């Protein structure tokens, strides 16, 4: 028989790991709601044109990473490689602007990019992100940064640090690019192939290069912040003021640029971990031209996104554990006659909110206690022929090993009470 495997670049997320995923998703829901963000769900595929327009044709995503296909009617469709373009499309299509001056939206789901698979990087990966549409005020940038920091703190991530920068706007970006080009131009031959390509298409991205060889030539880089226009300068200043007011520690990192072309003014990353093991857990920024670029009005916007694979990996590396929902009790009928009775008990417990498992196998008591240990249950209720006659089972406390008789009539109420008490203590 053929042994099927997952497609290259994809993976299964197994129950041992989904606990962490659910924890991250749950925290996102909780924390984002505190900031008045509401969830939006868009399709997994969109018209290819949307991404060509929204992401920027000179990016790696557009040039080589999109999963594009034609449907049976010859429409060009693409599996979404990121979330923002679709959210903006849905925002415009649903006329939300007429219903609310400011829209705070968040999304989650799988994204697709045809990348070379490597550790922690997959062709189907998962993102959670948020977008604030209709707000140009510097407070909004700060609120989004504050929410990101709040969220990652709630996950238990250690040594969080916020890095910010301004990448300018339509007016001052060309000046920034020219400065960079004239500074790097002399050394162009010494830069890596990616950088040489970016020199023509998007010189700002050269700053993003992780190649140590290129880094040597960045020494003495012109100060980008001095080239910003008055509007960008004062916006960046206000963002830093708000961060100070909210006592959010941050660093201005003049080398911080984001992979996507559409960012304007503020860009930021949240970093976790100590020096040497630092990881960016999320990135985002302002994108004041994208809504118009996608056919809408000139409307400022700001947001951030993070990859779940990466965040889960960092949590694992930092030994962050989350409570795992396991059964509270195992029903252990011995012999066929007891199975029906035990099944009724198991179902009654589940209906009263107590997670219960039942072992109807033909195994003996020793084996059933062993599997109870493996499950990590607090109690085992043992039902043999004698117990059926007496209408009274043996309740074993798996922590203390103590065992006592509990009548059938008292059993469900007793377990429910124990369960509530145990849960209250945690």
Of 130 and 169, nearer to Zn ion (C-beta) is 169
CB 265 to Zn ion: min, Å: 7
CB 84 to Zn ion: min, Å: 21
Using CB under 5 A as the binding rule, whether residue 187 contacts Zn ion is answered as no
Burial label, 115 (beta-carbon count in 10 A; 0-12, 13-18, 19+): middle
**Can you tell me which of 144, 167, 207, 209 binds Zn ion, judged by CB under 5 A?**
209
**Can you tell me which of 22, 70, 211, 244 binds Zn ion, judged by CB under 5 A?**
211
Q: How far is CA 400 from CA 7, 326, 395, 396, 397, in A?
A: 48, 19, 12, 9, 6
**Can you tell me which of 214, 227, 260, 311 binds Zn ion, judged by CB under 5 A?**
214
- Do the Cβ atoms of 367 and 325 come closer than 8 Å? no
**Can you tell me which of 79, 135, 176, 195 binds Zn ion, judged by CB under 5 A?**
195
Of 170 and 423, nearer to Zn ion (C-beta) is 170
Answer yes or no: is 83 a known binding residue.
yes
- Total residues contacting Zn ion by CB under 5 A comes to 11
* Cα–chain center distance at 178: 36
Answer yes or no: is 131 a known binding residue.
yes
Of 44 and 229, nearer to Zn ion (C-beta) is 229
CA separation for the pair 317, 272 (Å, rounded):
11
**Can you tell me which of 54, 134, 168, 303 binds Zn ion, judged by CB under 5 A?**
168
Using CB under 5 A as the binding rule, whether residue 229 contacts Zn ion is answered as yes
3-state secondary structure of 122: coil
Using CB under 5 A as the binding rule, whether residue 232 contacts Zn ion is answered as yes
Of 206 and 339, nearer to Zn ion (C-beta) is 206
Using CB under 5 A as the binding rule, whether residue 207 contacts Zn ion is answered as no
Of 50 and 214, nearer to Zn ion (C-beta) is 214
Burial label, 229 (beta-carbon count in 10 A; 0-12, 13-18, 19+): middle
Using CB under 5 A as the binding rule, whether residue 204 contacts Zn ion is answered as no
Of 55 and 195, nearer to Zn ion (C-beta) is 195
Using CB under 5 A as the binding rule, whether residue 146 contacts Zn ion is answered as no
Q: How far is CA 232 from CA 44, 171, 268, 288, 317, in A?
A: 35, 9, 15, 12, 38
Q: How many CB atoms lie within 10 A of CB 183?
A: 15
CA separation for the pair 331, 377 (Å, rounded):
10
Q: How far apart are the first and last CA of the chain?
A: 48
Of 298 and 367, nearer to Zn ion (C-beta) is 298
Q: How many CB atoms lie within 10 A of CB 109?
A: 16
Using CB under 5 A as the binding rule, whether residue 175 contacts Zn ion is answered as no
* Long-range CB pairs of 293-299, under 8 A, 24+ apart, other chains included: 293/53, 293/54, 293/262, 294/50, 294/53, 294/54, 294/85, 294/88, 294/89, 294/92, 295/92, 296/88, 296/91, 296/92, 296/97, 297/97, 299/97, 299/133, 299/134
- In degrees and rounded to multiples of 5, residue 391 shows phi and psi of 55, 45
CB under 5 A: which stretch of 143-151, 179-187, 228-236, 238-246 binds Zn ion? Answer: 228-236
Using CB under 5 A as the binding rule, whether residue 184 contacts Zn ion is answered as no
Of 172 and 312, nearer to Zn ion (C-beta) is 172
Q: Which residues define the annotated binding site?
A: 82-84, 113, 127, 131, 258, 262-263
**List of residues contacting Zn ion (CB under 5 A):** 168-169, 171-172, 192, 195, 209, 211, 214, 229, 232
Annotated binding-site positions for L-histidine? 82-84, 113, 127, 131, 258, 262-263
């Amino acid at each position: 028989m053929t042994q099927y495997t997952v497609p290259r670049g994809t993976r299964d997320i197994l129950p041992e790991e989904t606990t962490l995923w659910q924890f991250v998703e749950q925290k996102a829901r909780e924390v984002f709601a505190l900031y008045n963000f509401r969830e939006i769900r868009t399709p997994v595929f969109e018209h290819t044109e949307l991404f060509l327009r929204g992401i920027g044709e000179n990016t790696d995503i557009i040039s080589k990473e999109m999963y594009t296909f034609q449907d049976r009617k010859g429409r060009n469709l693409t599996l979404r490689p990121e979330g923002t373009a679709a959210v903006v499309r849905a925002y415009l299509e649903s006329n939300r602007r007429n219903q609310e001056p400011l829209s705070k939206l968040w999304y989650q789901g799988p994204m697709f990019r045809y990348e070379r698979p490597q550790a922690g990087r997959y062709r189907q990966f998962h993102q959670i992100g948020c977008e604030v549409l209709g707000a140009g005020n510097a407070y909004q940038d700060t609120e989004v940064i504050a929410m990101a920091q709040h969220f990652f703190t709630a996950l238990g991530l250690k040594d969080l640090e916020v890095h910010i920068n301004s990448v300018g706007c339509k007016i001052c970006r060309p000046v920034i690019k020219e400065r960079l080009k004239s500074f790097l131009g002399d050394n162009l031959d010494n830069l890596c192939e990616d950088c040489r390509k970016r020199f023509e298409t998007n010189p700002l991205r050269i700053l993003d290069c992780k190649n140590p060889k290129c880094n040597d030539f960045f020494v003495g880089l012109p100060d980008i912040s001095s080239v910003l226009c008055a509007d960008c300068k004062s916006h960046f200043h206000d963002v830093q003021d708000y961060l100070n007011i909210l006592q959010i520690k941050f660093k201005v990192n003049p080398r911080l640029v984001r992979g996507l072309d559409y960012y304007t003014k503020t860009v930021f990353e949240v970093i976790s971990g100590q020096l040497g093991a630092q990881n960016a857990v999320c990135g985002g920024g302002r994108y004041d031209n994208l809504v118009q670029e996608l056919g809408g009005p000139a409307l400022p916007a700001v947001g951030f996104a993070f990859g779940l694979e990466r965040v889960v990996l960092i949590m694992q590396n930092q030994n962050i554990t989350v409570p795992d929902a396991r059964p509270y009790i195992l029903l252990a009928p011995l012999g066929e006659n007891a199975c029906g009775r035990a099944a009724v008990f198991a179902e009654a417990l589940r209906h009263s909110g107590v997670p219960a498992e039942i072992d109807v196998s033909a195994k003996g008591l020793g084996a059933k206690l062993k599997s109870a240990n493996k499950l990590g249950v607090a109690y085992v209720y043992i039902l043999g022929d004698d117990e059926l006659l007496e209408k009274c089972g043996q309740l074993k406390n798996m922590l203390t090993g103590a065992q006592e008789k509990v009548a059938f009539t008292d059993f469900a109420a007793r377990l429910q009470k124990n369960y509530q008490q145990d849960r209250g203590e945690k």
